[in-house]
């Protein structure tokens, strides 16, 4: 796939930035960064291919608006042809402003589909008062979106999860599930029938928040259903933000670590054949020096500079 995916020229040219100069320049850089990071993820994981029909799941939150916005920019200059179809599931939560997304999408002039299914009533009936409804709600949502994807002849389903969601999931699985397992950038859905992609995999949540303000997306609050968001996820999110405040660069380093897994230095015997290890008799400069070094790979120079070492 060509590097045109990460050509930054689709960002507003600097000469055309007419707002207050410093803010304009910041936004220009932000736009370039978002396009570059999404383009990179698309290339690295071969997320979008020629002829794909990509269903962009829109919830009305800042992340999914940002996803659609950046994918539209990339579509305009991609080296391949693909379609984007925005899909929203109206779950009939009380107070859901069902005109907001259609109005926005009509103005954009892009293909879209609004699926209306009253999952809210089902969840309310099944889940006892005061208990969190999210698990059943998202299971129902998932099933409906898979069906809609089939009906619309979709080849890829794009979700708006970003870098921070992925790290939070990694820690949730480690702290509460006893697994080193994150949120993949690309996967086959649990029903086996769909490819799900997360083109915002490299993007920081704070960048999406700033982009949403700049683009004045008509955000629909996600608390309409009155359910508590996953408390553990919130706690992990707070922990990560605290770490980043105290140790700038830590999030970046942890995110890089998700790309650099060394199974021979973990303890999963199904990933590395510890049992049959044999001496080779040959020195290996990359091999382990068991007795004189800590079992720790020092960070690279840029990483050390980032955390002020």
Task: Write out the residues near ligand SF4 by the rule CB under 6 A.
Answer: 133-134, 137-138, 222, 225, 227, 229
Residue placing its CB nearer to ligand SF4 in the complex, 73 or 233 = 233
The nearest distance, CB 66 to ligand SF4, in angstroms, is: 18
Nearer to ligand SF4, 120 or 255 (CB): 120
Closest to ligand SF4 by CB, 67 vs 89, is 89
Residue entry with tokens 């990339």: 74
CB of 226 to ligand SF4, least distance (A): 8
Task: Say whether 213 sits in a helix, a strand or coil.
Answer: helix
Q: Nearest distance from residue 140's CB to ligand SF4, in Å?
A: 9
Please tell me whether residue 145 adopts helix, strand or coil conformation.
helix
CB of 101 to ligand SF4, least distance (A): 15
Nearest approach, Cβ of residue 147 and ligand SF4 (Å): 18
35/133 with CB nearer ligand SF4: 133
| Torsions phi, psi for 77 (to 5 deg) | -130, 15
Q: Least CB distance from residue 198 to ligand SF4, whole Å?
A: 17
> Which is nearer to ligand SF4, 138 or 234 (by Cβ)?
138
Cα atoms in the Cβ-side hemisphere of radius 13 Å centred on 288: 9
How many residues belong to the chain?
309
CA dihedral 182, 184, 151, 113 (to 10 degrees): 80
CB 204 within 8 A of CB 162: yes
Give 135 or 305: the residue with its C-beta nearer to ligand SF4. 135
Q: Which is nearer to ligand SF4, 64 or 227 (CB)?
A: 227
Give the gyration radius of the chain's Cα atoms: 22
CB of 263 to ligand SF4, least distance (A): 34
**Any alpha helices (H) in the chain, and if so which ranges?**
21-44, 62-77, 100-108, 119-126, 134-151, 163-177, 205-215, 231-246, 250-257, 301-306
Residue placing its CB nearer to ligand SF4 in the complex, 136 or 180: 136
Contact between residue 141 and residue 91 where contact means Cβ atoms under 8 Å apart: yes
CB of 160 to ligand SF4, least distance (A): 13
The pair of structure tokens assigned to 133 is: 């409804």
- From 237, 98, 100, 250, select the one nearest 175 (Cα to Cα): 237
Return the closest-CA partner of residue 163 out of 61, 255, 68: 255
């Amino acid at each position: 796939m060509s590097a045109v995916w990460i050509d930054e020229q689709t960002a507003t040219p600097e000469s055309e930035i007419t707002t207050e100069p410093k803010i304009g320049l910041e936004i220009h850089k932000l736009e370039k960064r978002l396009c570059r990071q999404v383009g990179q993820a698309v290339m690295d994981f071969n997320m979008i291919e020629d002829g794909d029909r990509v269903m962009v799941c829109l919830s009305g939150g800042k992340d999914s608006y940002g996803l659609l916005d950046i994918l539209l920019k990339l579509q305009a200059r991609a080296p391949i042809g693909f379609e984007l179809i925005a899909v929203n599931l109206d779950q009939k939560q009380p107070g859901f402003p069902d005109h907001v997304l259609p109005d926005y999408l009509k103005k954009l002039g892009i293909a879209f589909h609004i699926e209306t299914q009253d999952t809210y009533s089902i969840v309310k009936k099944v889940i006892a008062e005061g208990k969190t409804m999210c698990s059943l709600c998202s299971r129902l949502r998932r099933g409906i979106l898979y069906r809609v994807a089939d009906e619309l002849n979709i080849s890829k389903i794009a979700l708006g999860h970003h870098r921070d969601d992925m790290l939070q999931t990694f820690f949730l699985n480690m702290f509460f599930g006893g697994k080193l397992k994150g949120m993949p950038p690309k996967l086959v859905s649990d029903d086996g029938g769909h490819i799900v992609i997360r083109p915002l995999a490299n993007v920081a949540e704070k960048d999406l928040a700033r982009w949403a303000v700049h683009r004045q997306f008509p955000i629909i609050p996600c608390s309409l259903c009155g359910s508590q968001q996953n408390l553990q996820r919130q706690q992990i999110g707070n922990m990560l933000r605290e770490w980043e405040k105290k140790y700038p660069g830590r999030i970046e380093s942890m995110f890089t670590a998700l790309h650099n897994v060394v199974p021979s230095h973990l303890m999963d015997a199904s990933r590395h054949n510890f049992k049959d290890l044999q001496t080779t008799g040959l020195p290996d400069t990359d091999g382990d020096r068991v007795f004189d070094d800590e079992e720790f790979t020092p960070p690279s120079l840029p990483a050390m500079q980032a955390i002020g070492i």
